[in-house]
Amino acid sequence: MKPLAVHAKQLPLALYVHIPWCERKCPYCDFNSHENFDASLEAPYIAALLEDLALQCHWSSGRQLCSIFIGGGTPSLFSPRSIATLLDGIDAQFGLTDDIEITLESNPSSAEAKHYRGYRGAGVNRLSIGVQSFNDHQLSTLGRVHNAAQARAACTMAASQFERFNIDLMHGLPEQTTQAALADITEGIDRCGDHLSWYQLTIEPNTLFWSRPPIIPVDDTLADIQDAGEQALIGAGFEQYEVSAWSRPQQASQHNLNYWQFGDYLGIGAGAHGKITTSAGSIIRTQRTRQPSDYLSAIRRKSQPSTNDIKPEHLSGEFMLNALRLKAGIDTQLMAARTGLTSAQLAPALEQLITKGLIMPNPEQHLRTTTQGFRFLNDVLGVFLADED
C-alpha cells in the first residue's frame, strides 16, 4: 500500500543556519566544526548564507518560516552586526513574523554583555548556552574553553537580556559521581531560563574520545544519575517533552518540536542538513558540503545542495526516529499529514511493540511509547528500522 499524498503547503517550514567555526574542537564532538576562525570570513560567509537561502527558496512553496535556529560550531563568534545582517537578509526574502522564534547558540567563553544586548537588538529572541557542566574539573576533562565562573556569568547575562534561554548540560561525564551530576543539574535548574537540554555523554566515532576513551561511570551509576536528575527536574516544575529536552510549561523549543514532529526545514551553511516536502509531495533530505572553503566555492558557483529522496519503504523509520522521541508521542492524523502513512500500514510493527509493552494501546488515534518503551527507545525504533531491510 502506497503512502497517501502529502501537501507541502500544509507543513510548517523552519530554517537551520550552520556557522561551523569553534575556538577549539571538543574531544567528544562529532558535529561539523572547525578551528582557526578568522574574523575576515564573517562578511563573505554571511553573504554566502543569504545566497544559499535564495538558491533553496524554491522549496518553500510560498510558506513563511515558523522558526530559525543559528547553530554550530559557535555562532557567538560572529558579531551582533553580522547576525543582524543575516536576519535582515532572511526577513527580506521571507518576511519574518513578529512572533517567530529565533535561537542562537552561544559558548560561555565568548559571552559578553554587549554582545548579548547586540544579539537581542539584531532580532534573536532565544539563546542556547553550551554550559555542559558547572564543575571546573569536568569542563577541563571535556576540553571546554570556558570555566565554571564564565558559565555562571553567561547565564546571568542571558537572564538580563532574554526572556527565553536554554542551557545545555551533559551527564555521565568521565568519573562523574551521582552527587556531582546532581549538583550540576540543581545549579542548571536555578540558572536556566525556561528550558534545559540534559543529555548523557556518548562516545562518537571520529572524535578524540573515540580513539582515547575516558573512563565513564558504570551503568548502575548512570541509571542513578538519570533517576536523580529526572526527580530534580520534575520537582522544580520542568516537563520532559523529548528525550533530552526539559522545559517549564508552554516553553518548549518550537524549532525542536518542528524537527520531532517531522516538519520541514531548510538547512543553509557548511554541512547543513535540511528536510523538505516538495510541491509534488515527495520528501527529500538535503546536505551542504562540510568544509567551509568548499562551501563558499559551491555558493559562488550557485550550486544546489545534494539531495536524497526518502523512499516510501523508509518513511516509517524516518518518521519514528523523530516522533517517538517526544514523550507525549504524536497524533496519527499528524503522521498521515506529514508522511502519508496510516497506523494500519504499520500494524505488524505496532502489534509487536504493544505485545511487548513498549507502545501504548490504541495506536489508531495516538502513537506513544510506554514508560518502559521511552527508556528503551532504541529497541522500539529498531523494529521500524528493521522493516526497511
Q: Give all domains of the chain, ordered by start, each with its CATH number.
A: 8-258 (3.80.30.20), 331-386 (no CATH)
Confidence (pLDDT) at 1: 46
Confidence of residue 345 (pLDDT cuts 50, 70, 90): confident
* Residue located via cell numbers 550550486: 303
pLDDT at 213 over 90: yes
Distances (CA, A) of 35 to 73, 115, 273: 9, 21, 21
Phi, psi of 169 (to 5 degrees): -130, 140
Distance CA 196, CA 190 (A): 11
Report DSSP state, residue 275: E
The residue behind cell 538519570 is 226
- For 176, the grid coordinates are 562523574
User: CA-based angle 34:38:44, to the nearest 5?
Assistant: 95
Cα dihedral 238→244→250→253 (10° resolution): 140
Q: Phi and psi for 299 in degrees, rounded to 5?
A: -70, -40
Looking at residue 170, the DSSP 8-state letter turns out to be E
Read out DSSP for 85-126?
Answer: HHHHHHHHHH---TT-EEEEEE-GGG--HHHHHHHHHHT--E
Please check the confidence at residue 47 and state whether its pLDDT lies above 50: yes
What is the band of 36 on the pLDDT scale with cuts at 50, 70, 90?
A: confident
Q: 335: which 3 cell numbers? A: 503522521
Per-residue confidence (pLDDT) for residue 164, from 0 to 100: 96
| CA-based nearest residue to 100, from 85, 114, 90, 110 | 90
CA 236, 239, 240, 246 torsion-angle sign: negative
Min mean pLDDT across 1-10, 237-246, 354-363 is at 1-10
Closest C-alpha to 217, from 175, 170, 169: 175
Q: pLDDT averaged over the chain?
A: 93
pLDDT tens by residue, 105-146: 999 987 777 899 999 999 999 999 999 999 999 999 999 999
**Amino acid symbol at 150:** Q
Report the length, in residues, of the chain: 389
Work out the number of other CB atoms within 10 angstroms of the CB of residue 82: 20
- Cβ neighbors of 328 (< 8 A, separation 6 or more) are 241, 368
pLDDT at 364: 82
The pLDDT assigned to 389 comes to 52
Give the pLDDT of residue 146. 94
What does the radius of gyration of the chain's CA atoms come to, in whole angstroms? 21
Strand pairing report for 239-242 and 264-268: unpaired
Taking residue 336's Cβ as centre, other Cβ atoms within 10 Å add up to 16
pLDDT of 2 > 60? The answer is no
- Where do the H-state alpha helices sit in the chain? 42-56, 80-94, 113-122, 136-141, 148-161, 178-191, 208-211, 219-235, 254-260, 292-300, 315-323, 332-339, 347-355, 371-375, 377-386
pLDDT value of position 3 = 62
pLDDT(387) > 60: no
At 241, give phi and psi (nearest 5°): -110, -10
| Helix H or strand E encompassing 289 | none
Helix (H, G, I), strand (E, B) or coil at 292: helix
Q: Which of 386, 389, 387, 331 is nearest to 363 (CA)?
A: 331
Q: How confident is the model at residue 188 (pLDDT cuts 50, 70, 90)?
A: very high
Task: Say whether 373 sits in a helix, a strand or coil.
Answer: helix
User: Residue 312 has what pLDDT?
Assistant: 86
Q: Give the pTM.
A: 0.95
